[in-house]
């Protein structure tokens, strides 16, 4: 890991700091390059202890040994451009971590928010009234002879007993069902309080799924009609909640959101800057509930914020605001997907592979692709063509979209034979007519938000002949009531979507999933990626790859450096 070449950006940043420095030395030059590279790899900071005394490779082909930690720290402190926590310098040294100034600030703001809100009771908190309402909305369903608690009820109690709470759990554990009940309890306990409740998620697709889940969950709530009516049904992206524009954000520390409670779903996808911006925008009396699966892939941008928060709360004695839903209502005890996901989470590559090979599980399957790219191409074309044929022969656009949502091909990679670009190009060449990329049955994914059209990054749809316009092509997307359509020329930036990256699939679920792993090792492969891909499946999952790569991926864990856990523990 430490021998990668430095990019030109890293070299330019280092040169910039050397020009500003009072005492420019090799300690600063190397640290500036390394901290930039660490950021590009998803870390929040540079761990000097990890790199001290180790060899790195400069772009010019020159091997350099990093200084010993003590000498390195002394050189940085003498440079004039490295400050202590709270100082205003380009770099902040909080040994052994070295940060860019703004990322140290983001991390500190997140930690301070959590520590403050975790000890704050909601206004007019009444434990007896809370217990009474909990008993009605969470009736006893677990057999009395078992010792298993009602995890959802405990999560609701924690969420309503402080102004900050994290509810984490795997797919099918009832996170959104629990939140719907929490919102009903919140309204019952607060009476006619007009403080707003806001629902949000990192992406438009995740927000739409949260909205749909809350609407569905409201139907079965045991509460008065006026309480149900007071529960919001609209969810928005976090950027839209904060009023983000190219010029800045409408809501921030000096103009805060008029909210009493904010619920954020798919919190594992939230990066550190966005989390800090959100927390800064919430007034002192506002509660924040984060929902997510801490075992999923972290955000594309730097940080593994939800995972760090969960660990910090657990290790720092703040478990009263951390709730983990442990009972799966989707995967029964005999489920292969359930057994596979547990083995992957435990880092047991051999055990996970044994599950895939076990013929006793009907919902998981392994296909060895070997090193033969041609063999893989034949298989993926057959798989894609079969699904595509069902789509183009569907009786209506509604049916076509339903068929499209039944299954998905997911890849760990973007580029290459086994990546989504290669699969989409291959499928398009074989399944599309020769008159271009606009063809009947083309699956598409929006790659840039368009608020005017209410289409968001990650939304999927189909180009289909429209029987209402003499079979002219239209772009169809799912809607609350049926479908909505628009001219292909009006589409925002989009791409072909016969296959999706695992990252892009977050927040989605499909009845059937094919997860493609490359034939050779890749730095992006890790257990979080494999777990995320597997758990997009509701009914069955196939994994295509080689045993060695699969086992290695499951054994490899993403570790992003940050000081957030330390800040929560050493408060």
**Cα–Cα distance between 365 and 542 in angstroms, integer?**
5
Give the closest residue to 405 by CA, choosing from 459, 457, 450.
459
Residue with tokens 């489920």: 335
Residue with tokens 């949000």: 200
The answer to pTM > 0.85 is: yes
Domains 126-138+148-330 and 336-555 share a fold: yes
Any idea what DSSP says for residue 518?
-
Instruction: Tell me the CATH number for domain 3-100.
Output: 1.10.10.1020
From the DSSP assignment, how many helices (H) and strands (E) are in the chain?
A: 22, 24
**Cα–Cα distance between 481 and 340 in angstroms, integer?**
36
Residue 193's pLDDT is what?
62
Domain assignments of the chain as residue spans, ordered by start: 3-100, 126-138+148-330, 336-555
Whether residue 2 contacts residue 49, with contact meaning beta carbons closer than 8 Å, is answered with no
Instruction: Tell me the CATH number for domain 126-138+148-330.
Output: 3.40.50.300
Enter the tokens of residue 539.
């009914």
Q: Which helix (H) or strand (E) holds 100?
A: strand 97-100
Q: Which helix (H) or strand (E) holds 181?
A: helix 175-190
Strand order in the sheet with 82-83: 46-47, 97-100, 91-94, 82-83
Any idea what DSSP says for residue 445?
E
Give the closest residue to 127 by CA, choosing from 106, 89, 157, 153.
157
Total residue length of the chain: 571
DSSP track, 460-492: EEEEEEEGGGTTEEEEEEE-SSSEEEE-GGG--
Cα–Cα separations (whole angstroms), residue 254 to 197, 257, 277, 520? 20, 10, 12, 51
Residue 88's pLDDT is what?
94
Residue 101 has, within 13 A of its CA and on its CB side, a CA count of 10
Long-range contacts: 17-25, Cβ < 8 Å, 24+?
17/79, 17/81, 17/90, 17/91, 20/80, 20/81, 20/90, 21/79, 21/80, 21/81, 22/78, 22/79, 22/80, 22/81, 23/75, 23/78, 23/79, 23/80, 24/79, 25/75, 25/78, 25/79
Number of Cβ within a 10 Å radius of residue 271:
19
**Cα–Cα distance between 56 and 65 in angstroms, integer?**
6
Q: Which helix (H) or strand (E) holds 317?
A: none
Residue with tokens 């009786």: 395
Whether residue 430 contacts residue 525, with contact meaning beta carbons closer than 8 Å, is answered with no
Q: Are strands 164-169 and 322-325 parallel, antiparallel or unpaired?
A: parallel
Architecture in CATH for domain 336-555 = 3-Layer(aba) Sandwich (3.40)
Residue 1's pLDDT is what?
39
Residue with tokens 């791409």: 495
> Which mean pLDDT values do the consecutive 10-residue runs of the chain (571 residues) have?
58 91 91 92 94 81 87 95 94 96 97 94 75 83 63 92 94 89 88 79 85 88 86 89 86 94 95 96 95 89 92 94 89 86 94 95 92 80 92 94 94 92 91 79 89 81 92 89 89 94 89 94 92 94 95 92 94 71
Any idea what DSSP says for residue 119?
T
Q: Which helix (H) or strand (E) holds 60?
A: none
Q: Are strands 472-478 and 483-486 parallel, antiparallel or unpaired?
A: antiparallel
The contacts of residue 208 (CB under 8 Å, 6+ apart) are 235, 456, 459
Environment class of 160 (CB within 10 Å of its CB; exposed 0-12, middle 13-18, buried 19+): buried
Residue 2's pLDDT is what?
41
Our CA angle for 533, 208, 364, nearest 5°, is 20
Whether residue 241 contacts residue 247, with contact meaning beta carbons closer than 8 Å, is answered with no
Enter the tokens of residue 271.
């990066």
The contacts of residue 19 (CB under 8 Å, 6+ apart) are none
Cα–Cα separations (whole angstroms), residue 133 to 126, 139, 160, 369? 11, 10, 11, 55
Q: Which helix (H) or strand (E) holds 372?
A: none
């Amino acid at each position: 890991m430490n021998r990668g070449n430095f990019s030109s950006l890293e070299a330019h940043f280092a040169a910039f700091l050397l020009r500003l420095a009072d005492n420019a030395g090799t300690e600063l030059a190397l640290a500036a390059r390394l901290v930039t590279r660490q950021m590009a790899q998803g870390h929040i900071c540079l761990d000097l202890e990890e790199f001290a005394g180790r060899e790195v490779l400069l772009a010019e082909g020159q091997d350099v040994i990093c200084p010993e930690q003590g000498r390195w720290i002394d050189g940085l402190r003498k440079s004039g451009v490295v400050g202590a926590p709270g100082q205003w310098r380009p770099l902040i040294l909080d040994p052994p971590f070295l940060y860019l100034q703004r990322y140290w600030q983001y991390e500190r703001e997140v930690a301070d928010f959590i520590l403050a809100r975790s000890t704050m009771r909601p206004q007019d908190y009444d434990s007896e009234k809370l217990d009474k309402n909990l008993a009605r909305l969470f009736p006893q369903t677990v057999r009395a002879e078992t010792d298993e608690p009602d995890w959802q009820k405990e999560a609701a109690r924690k969420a309503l007993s402080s102004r900050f709470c994290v509810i984490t759990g795997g797919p099918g554990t009832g996170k959104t069902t629990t939140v719907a009940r929490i919102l009903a309890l919140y309204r019952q306990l607060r009476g006619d309080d007009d403080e707003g409740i806001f629902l949000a998620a990192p992406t438009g697709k995740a927000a739409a799924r949260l909205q749909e889940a809350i609407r569905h969950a409201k139907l079965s709530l045991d509460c008065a009609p006026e309480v149900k009516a007071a529960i919001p049904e609209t969810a928005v992206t976090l950027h839209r909640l904060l009023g983000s524009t190219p010029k800045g954000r409408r809501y921030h520390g000096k103009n805060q959101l008029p909210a009493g409670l904010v619920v954020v779903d798919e919190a594992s996808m939230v990066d550190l800057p966005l989390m800090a911006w959100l927390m800064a925008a919430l007034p002192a009396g506002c509660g924040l509930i984060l929902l997510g699966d801490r075992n999923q892939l972290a955000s594309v941008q730097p940080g593994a914020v939800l995972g760090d928060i969960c660990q910090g709360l657990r290790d720092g004695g703040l478990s009263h605001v951390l709730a983990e839903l442990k009972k799966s209502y989707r995967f029964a005890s005999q489920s292969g997907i359930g057994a596979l996901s547990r083995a992957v989470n435990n880092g047991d590559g051999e055990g996970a592979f044994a599950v895939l090979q076990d013929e006793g599980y009907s919902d998981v399957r392994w296909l060895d692709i070997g090193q033969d790219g041609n063999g893989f191409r034949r298989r993926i074309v057959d798989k894609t063509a079969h699904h595509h044929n069902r789509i183009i022969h569907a009786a209506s656009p509604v049916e076509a979209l339903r068929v499209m949502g039944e299954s998905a091909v997911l890849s760990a990679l973007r580029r290459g034979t086994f990546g989504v670009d290669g699969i989409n190009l291959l499928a398009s060449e074989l399944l599309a007519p020769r008159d271009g990329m606009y063809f009947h049955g083309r699956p598409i994914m929006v790659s840039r938000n368009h608020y005017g059209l209410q289409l968001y990054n990650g939304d999927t749809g189909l180009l289909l002949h429209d029987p209402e316009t003499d079979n002219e092509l239209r772009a169809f997307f799912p809607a609350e009531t049926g479908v909505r359509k628009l001219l292909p020329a009006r589409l925002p930036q989009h791409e072909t979507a016969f296959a999706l990256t695992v990252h892009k699939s977050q927040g989605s679920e499909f009845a059937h999933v094919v997860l493609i792993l490359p034939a050779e090792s890749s730095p992006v492969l890790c257990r979080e990626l494999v777990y995320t891909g597997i758990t997009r499946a509701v009914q069955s999952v196939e994994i295509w790859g080689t045993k060695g790569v699969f086992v290695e991926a499951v054994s490899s864990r993403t570790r992003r450096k940050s000081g957030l856990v330390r800040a929560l523990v050493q408060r």
